[in-house]
């Protein structure tokens, strides 16, 4: 297993795989990543055409693009196998698996990717959007520590959680905030990235910006988006401050010096800095696009 690469995932835009015009605009967008959606955004009668559209686009994909992810349908669904094969053929940076409930769901999908000889660098993201997933967060996150697994990122599926639990959806998200914090905690335990859920009213950018600010304060790495107008506020909210970036670069540079090779703790500007601070610095630089 290759070493995990930290990369910015501040603004991650869902693009319906059935929307040819939206797909054509992907390379012009400033978002960090794009999720081509074969699941909820595509009607059953359009799924075959959507798969073919993605195959064609990836076959001639531009050299410079955001991180590219394909959200498939649940592996056990009637579309799961065809989605897996199409996504494997497209060779995106990652595949996003929805409706994950237990570690077995990850294990089975990971095995299926291996059976198709998917490249080692193809990562796996999973949706946290069911009550069972919430109850199994710790076990799911453990795959992030397994060097033989592909798991790289949790994605909060807040709309489905609201639907599945019947909890009241309020503008301040007061009733789902404890669940969001649990996702962040589990992701950090597993060394994973974690993305906040979508904000449904893309016209209310003030409310969206508040959610971004709160999500960043909770510890999320970024936010999933449903409209390009949401990209700029998300980038701003989830970007580290210049001061934080400068400090992280100083820590990274200090540990990279030959005289500090192998050291677990060093002195920097009159304070002691440990390797755990280096890991935090590298993560922050990844979020800032400096890794």
3-state secondary structure the chain: CCCCCCCCCCEEEEEECCCHHHHHCHHHCCCCEEEEECCCCCCHHHHHHHHHHHHHHHHCCCCCCCEEEEECCCCCCCCHHHHHHHHHHHCCCEEEECCCCCHHHHHHHHHHHHHCCCCCCCEEEEEECCHHHHHCHHHHHHHHHCCCCCEEEEEECHHHHHHHHCCCCCCCCCCCHHHHHHHHHHHHHCCCEEEECCCCCCCCHHHHHHHHHHHHHHCCCEEEECCHHHHHHHHHHHCCCHHHHHHHHHHHHHHHCHHHCCCCEEEECCEEEEHHHHHHHHHHHHHCCCC
Which of the four pLDDT bands, split at 50, 70 and 90, describes residue 6? confident
Q: What pLDDT score was predicted for residue 1?
A: 44
What Cα–Cα distance (Å) separates residue 104 from each residue in 127, 151, 202, 244? 14, 13, 35, 39
10 near 30, Cβ under 8 Å?
no
Label residue 173 exposed, middle or buried (CB < 10 Å: 0-12, 13-18, 19+).
buried
Q: What pLDDT score was predicted for residue 241?
A: 84
pLDDT tens-digit profile of 54-68?
999 999 988 888 999
15 near 24, Cβ under 8 Å?
no
- Mean pLDDT across 144-160: 93
Which of the four pLDDT bands, split at 50, 70 and 90, describes residue 239? very high
pLDDT tens-digit profile of 248-278?
999 999 999 999 988 999 988 888 999 889 9
- Mean pLDDT across 141-146: 94
14 near 37, Cβ under 8 Å?
yes
Q: If you average pLDDT over every residue of the chain, what do you get? A: 93
Phi and psi of 162, rounded to 5°?
-60, -45
9 near 283, Cβ under 8 Å?
no
- Is 90 exceeded by the pLDDT of residue 5? no
Which of the four pLDDT bands, split at 50, 70 and 90, describes residue 79? very high
- Mean pLDDT across 211-237: 96
- Return the structure tokens found at 154: 């949790």
Helix axes 275-287, 242-256, angle to 10 degrees: 130
Supply the pTM of this predicted model.
0.89
- Is 70 exceeded by the pLDDT of residue 149? yes
- Is 70 exceeded by the pLDDT of residue 89? yes
Cα separation, 247 vs 257, in Å, equals 16
Which of the four pLDDT bands, split at 50, 70 and 90, describes residue 288? confident
- Is 50 exceeded by the pLDDT of residue 2? no
Name, in order, each residue with C-beta under 8 angstroms of 207's C-beta and a sequence gap of 6 or more: 171, 199, 201
Name, in order, each residue with C-beta under 8 angstroms of 6's C-beta and a sequence gap of 6 or more: 282, 283, 285, 286, 287, 291
- Is 70 exceeded by the pLDDT of residue 195? yes
What Cα–Cα distance (Å) separates residue 275 from each residue in 8, 214, 261? 21, 29, 11
- Mean pLDDT across 2-22: 87
- Is 80 exceeded by the pLDDT of residue 3? no
User: Which residue, 191, 196, 192, 143, is CA-closest to 10?
Assistant: 196
């Amino acid at each position: 297993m290759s070493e995990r690469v930290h990369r910015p995932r501040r603004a991650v835009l869902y693009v319906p795989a059935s929307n040819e015009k939206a797909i054509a605009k992907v390379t012009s967008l400033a978002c960090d990543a794009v999720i081509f959606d074969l699941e909820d955004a595509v009607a059953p009668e359009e799924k075959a055409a959507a798969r073919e559209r993605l195959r064609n686009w990836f076959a001639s994909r531009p050299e410079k693009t955001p991180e590219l992810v394909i959200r498939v349908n649940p592996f056990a669904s009637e579309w799961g196998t065809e989605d897996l094969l199409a996504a494997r053929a497209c060779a995106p940076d990652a595949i996003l698996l929805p409706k994950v409930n237990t570690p077995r769901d990850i294990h089975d999908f990971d095995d299926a990717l291996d059976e198709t000889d998917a490249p080692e660098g193809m990562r796996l993201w999973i949706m946290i959007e069911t009550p069972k997933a919430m109850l199994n967060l710790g076990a799911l996150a453990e795959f992030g520590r397994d060097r033989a697994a592909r798991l790289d990122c949790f994605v909060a599926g807040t709309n489905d959680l609201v639907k599945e639990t019947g909890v009241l959806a309020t503008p301040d998200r007061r009733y789902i905030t404890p669940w969001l914090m649990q996702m962040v905690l589990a992701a950090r335990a597993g060394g994973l990235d974690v993305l906040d859920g979508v904000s449904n009213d893309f016209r209310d950018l003030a409310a969206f910006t508040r959610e971004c600010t709160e999500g960043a304060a909770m510890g999320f790495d970024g936010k999933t988006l449903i409209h390009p107008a949401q990209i700029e506020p998300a980038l701003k909210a989830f970007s580290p401050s210049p001061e934080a970036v400068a400090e992280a670069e100083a820590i990274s540079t200090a540990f990279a010096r030959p005289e500090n090779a192998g050291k677990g703790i060093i002195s920097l500007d009159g304070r002691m800095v440990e390797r755990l601070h280096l890991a935090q610095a590298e993560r922050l630089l990844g979020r800032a696009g400096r890794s």
